[in-house]
Amino acid sequence: MLKFTYTKSNGDKSERMGLIVHQNSPLDLMLDLSELSEDERNKVENDWNEYKLMHEALLERFTFSKYMKTFKPSGISDRVVV
């Protein structure tokens, strides 16, 4: 859990608490399937798509989607892991 102060581009500040789902990065994070056979890649792709559907259902079930927000790293200060 992360506690932080967030400053919007208009200067508004708010105290926030959140779980980091994915941090911004200049790199693309991906599963590299280059070394797998076509059949193995297809299986991983099917499993991944199934996982995404379960993830979306979980977000919907617990209404997490209304809590998913993005924060510019430049606006985050006073970071404290709690």
Q: pTM of the full predicted structure? A: 0.56
Confidence of residue 30 (pLDDT cuts 50, 70, 90): confident
Confidence of residue 1 (pLDDT cuts 50, 70, 90): confident
Number of neighbouring beta carbons within 10 Å of residue 25: 7
Lookup result for tokens 């499993």: 47
Domain locations in the chain as residue ranges: 2-13+36-81
Q: What is the pLDDT of residue 28?
A: 66
Question: Average pLDDT in the 50-56 region?
Answer: 90
The CA distance from 41 to 23, in Å, is 26
> Which one is predicted more confidently, 32 or 39?
39
